Amino acid sequence: MTDLAFLHLLQLSDSAFPIGAFAHSSGLETYAQNGMTKIDLEEYLQNQLEVGWGRLDLAALALAYEVEDGVGLENLCDELSSWKVIPGIRQTSLKLGGRLLTLSKRLFADSLTELVLTQPHHAVVFGVVGKRSGIELRSLLLAYAQGTLMNQLVAATRCLSLSPEQAQEILVRLQPVIVAAAKSVCDDPKTSFFSATPAADIRAHQQAFLYTRLFQS
């Protein structure tokens, strides 16, 4: 990976990259209103990395990295939509992916001008943009996973009794899980293309009906 590609990776995975990830908790807010503790939070995030978005989204990213044509990407996005059964989760992925694609075309127009997706899921777009920026797959997977985890932890500092320092401690403890998830997906992305977090899906669905909300989803 070149120095320029490395800088592009830092830019794409920066929380300041303006795609609106800060506005979403993916159901974490529902857990918070139902008494989630710091210990519960860490267990929840580890579960997501092992059998939730840490499998499904990372696998979608890896598969998108290998696809060479628009039809293949559209088919992948269709399949990913079928796995994201909760409307809030699916719409969040599409919103973030759509913004990422629009901004990336503005920033890296030469390699992305012709790319059009009717369902621009975040993980798929991240994989395509990363590949066309010359970023190696393993680095993309690690950056995507840590970035998603950090977004969840930042959301937790807003709706739980969790300090930024405590959030960083949780991140450090979960980084080996990130590494393991990325390795598993690199080894066999098709087998990793699944999600098995029914409780989290229910909480994400319930968030739309909360009396007061800090997050869009």
The string of pLDDT tens digits covering residues 66-107 is 987 888 999 999 999 999 999 989 999 999 999 999 999 898
Q: How confident is the model at residue 192 (pLDDT cuts 50, 70, 90)?
A: very high
Average pLDDT of the segment spanning 144-160:
92
Whether pLDDT at 217 is above 70: no
Percentage of residues in the chain having pLDDT higher than 70: 98
Q: How far apart are CA 190 and CA 18, in angstroms?
A: 30
Question: Which pLDDT does position 52 carry in this prediction?
Answer: 94
Domain 3-9+25-201 has CATH 1.10.4190.10: yes
Dihedral angle over CA of 121, 124, 129, 131, nearest 10 = 180
Average pLDDT of the segment spanning 116-131:
93
Pick from 19, 50, 5, 8: nearest CA to 149: 50
Whether pLDDT at 216 is above 80: no
Average pLDDT of the segment spanning 117-121:
92
Q: How far apart are CA 129 and CA 45, in angstroms?
A: 26
Question: Which pLDDT does position 55 carry in this prediction?
Answer: 95
Q: What is the mean pLDDT of the chain?
A: 90
CB 196, CB 52: distance < 8 Å: yes
Pick from 60, 80, 24, 3: nearest CA to 217: 24
Q: How far apart are the first and last CA of the chain?
A: 35
pLDDT tens per residue, range 124-134 = 999 999 999 99
Q: How confident is the model at residue 175 (pLDDT cuts 50, 70, 90)?
A: very high
Whether pLDDT at 209 is above 80: no
- Sorted by where each begins, the domain ranges of the chain are 3-9+25-201
Which residues lie below 8 Å from residue 118, measured CB to CB, with a gap of 6+?
74, 77
